[in-house]
Structure 1
Amino acid sequence: MKKYTIDISHSTLSFSVRHMMISKIHGTFESYNAEIAAANIEHMQDASISITIDVASVSTKNHDRDVHLVSPDFFDADVYPKIVFTSTYIDKQNDKTFLIHGDLTIKNITKPIVFTTVYTGNGVNPWAQVYGFQAKTQIDRRDFNLVYNTILETGGVLISDEIDIVVDVELSPL
């Protein structure tokens, strides 16, 4: 098994959520690390993936909202400082598409999720061969005890329960 690292300067761990049910708020996590190993990263089937995210690194480009997200109303970063994803198995759908099954842990609650993942290609930079992937999934934030919300006068809610997650990574061998 060959080990790989994420090029953080060319990768993004992002999420989006509906605000007032009319627009989407986008955010990222700026600090994370990963352990990735595979015999053949392009075929992905035998890959082992573990990603640990620093909750306090959340960024929505709004300081007050970011402070609220790390508070006990949401992530409670002082008590639960990390989000962890660990792959359990991978199903190859075709040459470039994979379903990465794994366990996502937020606030010490672990739930199985599936990322639909596309191999976006490879290239050579001045230092190494690099490989690109995009992975997408959707979670229900209530499954992880992220339940803060406000009822609007119009009858809707301030924040949707569904969170879209998109991970764009550029990997290089160690």
Structure 2
Amino acid sequence: MKKLFLAAAVIIASGIVLVAYRPAQPAKGQAPLTGEPASGKFAGKWTIDKAHSNVKFTVTHMVVSEVDGSFKNFEGTLEHTKADYSDAKINFTVDVNSVDTDNENRDKHLKSADFFDAEKYPQMKFESTAFKPLGDNKYKLEGNLTIKDVTKPVSFDVTYGGTINTQRGAKAGFKAKTTVNRFDYNLKWDRATEAGGLVVSKEVHITINAELNEVK
């Protein structure tokens, strides 16, 4: 009887271990994080869902603090034929007049010729040249960024959030980050503090949270 009880205990314990170490399964309705669209197609075209996406930026102010802002109006598309998105072509356009830093006077200054000169150059544009998988849902996005009359190469660090099926269709999520020097794009308004640092730093940190809808 003791041997029978011991054998049963071992079987139960083994079962618990197997359950405890069973690989996690995707949530119901969610595709594996392989880059394949939730629809199961290897080729796809996606457009940005503006209601669930944002374009944000941060600059250092007076050397000691940061000011955040965003652009409220933007458009974007992604097209690919490979399951891992490695051949993705990405285009993104931002309406400069939609800049919002929660300060009306500052926003007017940003739209002026001191910075974006929005009346003359109403859009910023990005066009990709490469989208390189790095593993672990990380990518390096490379492309050309145009601000005002200047186009320069820029590189984004991208995290892929996965794809999912919903009642409204398939969705995919990405988060992209980069830092650019505003002086490179002729946003050259400059004023120094008493200590010698810039009132507004040269470096601008950009973050894009993009939720995409698959085009059927």
Same fold (TM over 0.5): yes
The answer for the alignment partner of 1:5 in structure 2 is 47
Q: Distance in 1 between matches of 2:175 and 2:127?
A: 17
Structure 1 consecutive aligned stretches of length 4 or more whose deviation exceeds 2 Å? 121-126
Runs of 5+ consecutive residues of structure 1 not aligned to the other structure: none
Let me know the Cα RMSD of the aligned residues: 1.2
Once the 2 structures are TM-superposed, how far is the Cα of residue 49 of structure 1 from its aligned partner? 0.5
The answer for the alignment partner of 1:26 in structure 2 is 68
**What pairs up with 1:10-159 in 2 under 5 angstroms?**
10-40=52-82, 43-159=84-200
Q: Say which SS state the counterpart of residue 126 (structure 2) adopts.
A: strand
Query: Quick check: which one's helix share is greater?
Result: 2
Q: Say which SS state the counterpart of residue 65 (structure 1) adopts.
A: helix
Q: Distance in 2 between matches of 1:110 and 1:44?
A: 25
Once the 2 structures are TM-superposed, how far is the Cα of residue 123 of structure 1 from its aligned partner? 2.7
Structure with bigger RCO (C-alpha 8 Å, 6+ apart):
1
Larger Rg belongs to: 2
Q: Say which SS state the counterpart of residue 156 (structure 1) adopts.
A: coil
- Asked whether the 8 Å contact 1:36–1:50 carries over to 2, the reply is yes
Once the 2 structures are TM-superposed, how far is the Cα of residue 153 of structure 1 from its aligned partner? 1.5
Q: Distance in 1 between matches of 2:138 and 2:128?
A: 16
Q: Say which SS state the counterpart of residue 93 (structure 1) adopts.
A: strand
TM-score, scaled to structure 2: 0.77
Deviation string for 1:120-160 (max 9, x for gaps)? 12333330121111000000111001110211112221011
Query: Quick check: which one's strand share is greater?
Result: 1
Deviation string for 1:44-88 (max 9, x for gaps)? 211111111111011111111111000011000011111000001
Number of matched residues? Answer: 173
Once the 2 structures are TM-superposed, how far is the Cα of residue 95 of structure 1 from its aligned partner? 3.8
Runs of 5+ consecutive residues of structure 2 not aligned to the other structure: 1-42
